[in-house]
Every structure is written in structure tokens, then in C-alpha cells.
Amino acid sequence: MPERLIEFEFAGNRFTFRADLPEEEIEEILDYLEEKKLGLRGKRNLSPLKMAVVLLLEVAADYVRLKGEYRLLSEKIGREATRLSRAIEEELKCLGCA
């Protein structure tokens, strides 16, 4: 996938970078950052650097929370898969198939 030029404005500064992500993913990322940025509007007295750090911390907090949720769901799916596998094996034994 070819690299694309991406532009993003934050705290009065324009940032330009290149990314080789799909268009939909880039749009989703920029929308997410814009949503987070809107949450900072009440903190206008912060310098652009401090606003960027607050945004970074909020994004990191979301990441850590989602990583924990993913781990819990993966463990639950693993337990359910094991339970279903055992149940299927028992049913097959009852039917004389195994």
C-alpha cells in the first residue's frame, strides 16, 4: 500500500506525516483524535504541549483499558471453547462415534 500524506491540526499547530494505512483506518484514527481533542476544549488555559500530553495520556488510558478488556474476553472465549469441545466429545461418546 502506498504511503499517503496525512495532515492533522492540534492546538493551533498543523502536523503532517506519512502513513501506509488504509484510508478508512486513517479516517477512524483522525476522528478518534478529534473526539478526544474536543474533550479538551474546557482546558484552554493549557499550553499546546500540555494539551498534547493530556491527549496522549487519555489515549494511553483507553489503550490500557481496551487491552485489559481484550485479555478478559480472550480468556473467556478460551474457556468457552474448551467447555464446548468437552461437551462435543461427551456427546460423540454417547452416540458411539468416538
C-alpha–C-alpha distance, residues 33 and 16, integer Å: 15
Please list, in sequence order, all residues whose beta carbon lies within 8 angstroms of the beta carbon of residue 23, skipping any fewer than 6 positions away.
4
pTM recorded for the entire structure: 0.72
pLDDT tens-digit readout, 14-64: 888 888 888 889 889 889 988 998 888 777 788 888 888 999 999 999 999
The confidence score (pLDDT) of residue 75 equals 98
The pairing of beta strand 4-10 with beta strand 13-19? antiparallel
C-alpha–C-alpha distance, residues 6 and 17, integer Å: 5
CB atoms within 10 A of CB 33: 14
